[in-house]
Amino acid sequence: MLAGMTRERAFPVRSRVRHPRERTARARSLPWWAGPRHKPVQRVQRSRRSPEVNSAKPNGTLRVTTWNLQNGGLDRPMDIGGDSRLNGIIDRISAAGPQDVVFLQECRWGALSSRRLYETAAKLGMPGWGYLVPAPRFGCDLAVFVRQSDSFHVVQERHESGLTPWYHALLRVETTFRSATGQTHRIDLCGLHFAPSAPRIRGDEAEQFNLLGKVEVIAAGDFNARAIAELPFPGGLNLALPKIARKLDTTPAETIKTAGFADVGELAGDLTPTVGHDFSNGRAVPHRADRIYTNSKGVDVLDYSVLSGALDNGGRLSDHDGVTAHIRISG
């Protein structure tokens, strides 16, 4: 039994690993808040005696979803209330079908981050295992929710926060998974949010896939630039505008492909853009910034779709659409 757990209940465990700059601040006898913003990894866990099991799920399949919340899905980032966008996103994720893995980016939940982590897990119907990894810049924390089953188990966390080259952070959870052929695989779940306006940093982040790819990985998130396979540009775009030009570089996507990863949307033949919806002013470019990758062999895409964030009143739940995929791993 883990420290801090009882047989009846598992409490959130606070990480003992501190950001290097926070350790420096403490060494100088400064209060914790005098150093750079840093929070421990937060978790939602059940007791190991009673894990959440979804035995009805077909062996060898996983439904994976990713969505960038835009400012935490709140009316104002770090705010206490105003979470109608967040709830709308959760509803649309849930409507896509029973989820096994849900990645979220821009979880800008501030002082209520732990509470919102628990609430989001419960609303998704995935109260068993959730992780929130702090991002040093702008509070754009990363989250993942995992539904354990008799063929899918969390083993350990392997996150990287406050470390180069990650502009925000690397969310990484090691799991074991039984494929459709009955083989047991180690699969690491990696949540990512690449640098928003820095192609060079995105290139460095993409290079890390050569290291991540030493094991089987499902990686998903906001890659903040075009994929290799995209729909043609709509007319009227000024591709020379710096804001647009920075999104046109496909080098990170090419690096990820060279590292042995397949773009699940491309495999499914669905090139629907996930960002750049308001391109009428010529200042945005539609593209598939939000993607799911895997290097697992023998992957079949059973279902794939882009989850629209559009509202009937003309507004949006987020400036990003979500992406969901139901995959079978037969290797």
Q: What is the pTM of this model?
A: 0.85
Q: Say if residues 193 and 150 touch (Cβ distance below 8 Å).
A: no
Cβ partners under 8 Å of residue 2, min gap 6: 10, 13, 48
Output helix, strand, coil percentages for the chain, rounded to the nearest 5.
20, 30, 50
Q: Give percent of the chain with pLDDT exceeding 90.
A: 70
Q: Say if residues 251 and 203 touch (Cβ distance below 8 Å).
A: yes
Tell me the Cα Rg of the chain.
19
Residue 28: exposure state from Cβ atoms within 10 A (0-12, 13-18, ≥19): exposed
Per residue in 142-187, pLDDT (tens digit) is 999 999 999 999 999 999 999 999 999 999 999 999 999 999 999 9
> Distance between CA 288 and CA 303 in Å, rounded?
17
**How far, in whole angstroms, is CA 178 from its chain's centroid?**
22
Rounded to an integer, the average pLDDT of 19-41 is 40
Quick check: helix, strand or coil at residue 236? coil
**Residue 67 predicted with pLDDT over 50:** yes
Q: Say if residues 46 and 117 touch (Cβ distance below 8 Å).
A: no
Per residue in 103-115, pLDDT (tens digit) is 999 999 998 999 9
What count of residues does the chain have?
331
> Distance between CA 302 and CA 155 in Å, rounded?
26
Q: Say if residues 191 and 144 touch (Cβ distance below 8 Å).
A: yes
What's domain 20-329's superfamily in CATH? Endonuclease/exonuclease/phosphatase (3.60.10.10)
> Distance between CA 164 and CA 152 in Å, rounded?
30
The pLDDT assigned to 163 comes to 92
Per residue in 229-243, pLDDT (tens digit) is 999 988 878 888 888
Q: Say if residues 162 and 20 touch (Cβ distance below 8 Å).
A: yes
Q: Say if residues 129 and 145 touch (Cβ distance below 8 Å).
A: yes
Reading the block at residue 318, the tokens are: 């987020």
Tell me which amino acid residue 263 is: D
Element (H, E) at 114: helix 113-123
Reading the block at residue 170, the tokens are: 């690397």
> Distance between CA 273 and CA 289 in Å, rounded?
8
Per residue in 74-95, pLDDT (tens digit) is 987 766 678 999 999 999 999 9
- At residue 44 the predicted structure's pLDDT band, cuts being 50, 70 and 90, is low
Report which DSSP code applies to 296. Answer: -
Instruction: For the beta carbon of residue 204, count every other beta carbon within 10 angstroms.
Output: 18
- Per-residue exposure over 67-87, b if at least 16 CB sit within 10 Å of its own CB, e if not: bbbbbbbbeebeeeeebebbe
**Residue 317 predicted with pLDDT over 80:** yes
Residue whose entry in the numeric block shows the structure tokens 């945005």: 284
Distances (CA, A) of 7 to 11, 48, 148, 150: 11, 8, 19, 20
Domain boundaries, the chain: 20-329
> Distance between CA 274 and CA 292 in Å, rounded?
12
Residue 34: exposure state from Cβ atoms within 10 A (0-12, 13-18, ≥19): exposed
